[in-house]
Amino acid sequence: MFTVHSEKRKENFYCSESDAKQTLKKSDGTYEIQWEKSYGKIPMWSARYEGPQPVGDADNDGKNELLIGGRDPFMRVIKWDESSQTYYEQAKIIDPVFGIGYPFALGSATGFAIADIDNDGLNEIGVAWGRHFSAFKWDGSHYKKMGMYAITKNRGWETTLDCAVGDVDNDGKNEVVVTGGYNDPSIPEVLVLSWDGGKFVKESEWNAPHEESIYFPWIADVDNDGKNEIICNTNETVVLNWNATSNSWEPTVVSTYEEKEIYPFGCVSKDSNGNGIPDIHVTFYAPELKIFEWNGTAYEEKWSHYWDSEEGTIEAIDVGDVDGDGIPEVCVGTNYVHILQWNGTTYVEEHVI
């Protein structure tokens, strides 16, 4: 799946594959594999991508790191080595917790982020492990666990799916948004946590109608009102606005999906058409991408495409300047990588990998 690496002028995108040594054919000689990680051939410990903020300066040395997670119990921190011009594993984080339903006390990294989680001016790593969320701070030699929050202790089908960090209630401080899917209706699909100086506490929550699973949340000002919103998907794309008077989330439905899309997974809200307002990019279990934009009074569908006979887009979506031309591209993956760019009127395909 994709994310933007901002350490260099030309941004990179990353593909996560469940099997080793997958070769991507170059359509025009421009793109090539820079680095890859093999997770072996055991499906239950395969690679996967869940995490809106997997690139950032995790150890606060002025250089970015990359987080990669799989279905194994490790959160890997990957760092660039200038001398050898390749990536290496800086750390392998594991967080066993007993008594909340994990087999062998171990979850897997269902979602992760690099951001200032405790609002001390330094970045930390946050990980949603399936039944709990925890955060880790670099102490100069390793990533030390600073705290955790148990989301469920049930032994049914209960799992976190992702997490994101940002100022969601516009109080000037970052919060952690943990999303998931739970059989227990008392567990909210959107949970907002904050660090109180010694532990994580629940600030707010939003329960999705019909107990839908929420995979990939985003935090951005998508309606251009100067305040952040939470953007997420159930069987609908929903924008959540915080109402400070009622201390509750007010949902606005952007779009409702039918059988063709099957289910929405990915959600990236970045400006891809250059107008200064983040657009909402949604990917699905089907091979489809939809892009929505705020028109001043409502959200409207700006562009969509269905790649017949290709695999689902799932969470293979990001926006960034991947070819160094100063203009952002939309990168979306099926069993191919489609690189799109806004030409002033519509999105056109620049490259296929």
Tell me, yes or no, whether 29 lies in a domain. Answer: no
Tell me, yes or no, whether 22 lies in a domain. Answer: no
Range of the domain at 328: 43-352
Picking from 116, 70, 111, 62, the residue whose alpha carbon sits closest to that of residue 89 is: 70
Give the Cα separation of 338 and 291 in Å (integer): 14
- Side by side, the strands of the sheet bearing 124-128 are 111-115, 124-128, 132-138, 143-150
List pLDDT tens digits, range 264-292: 999 999 999 999 999 999 999 999 999 99
Give the predicted TM-score (pTM) of the model: 0.91
Tell me, yes or no, whether 347 lies in a domain. Answer: yes
* pLDDT digit string (tens) for the chain, length 353 residues: 333 333 333 345 444 433 333 334 354 557 888 899 888 888 888 888 777 889 999 999 999 999 999 899 999 999 999 999 999 999 999 999 999 989 889 999 999 999 999 999 999 999 999 999 999 999 999 999 999 999 998 777 889 999 999 999 999 999 999 999 999 999 999 999 999 999 999 999 999 988 789 999 999 999 999 999 999 999 999 999 999 999 999 999 999 998 888 999 999 999 999 999 999 999 999 999 999 999 999 999 999 999 999 999 999 999 999 998 999 999 999 999 999 999 999 999 999 99
Tell me, yes or no, whether 217 lies in a domain. Answer: yes
98: CATH: 2.130.10.10
Tell me, yes or no, whether 141 lies in a domain. Answer: yes
Give the Cα separation of 353 and 340 in Å (integer): 12
What was the pLDDT predicted at 194? Answer: 99
Tell me, yes or no, whether 197 lies in a domain. Answer: yes
Tell me, yes or no, whether 12 lies in a domain. Answer: no
> How many separate domains does the chain show?
1
Give the Cα separation of 52 and 110 in Å (integer): 11
Residue pair 329/322 in contact (Cβ under 8 Å)? The answer is: yes
List pLDDT tens digits, range 14-58: 444 333 333 343 545 578 888 998 888 888 888 887 778 899 999
Tell me, yes or no, whether 8 lies in a domain. Answer: no
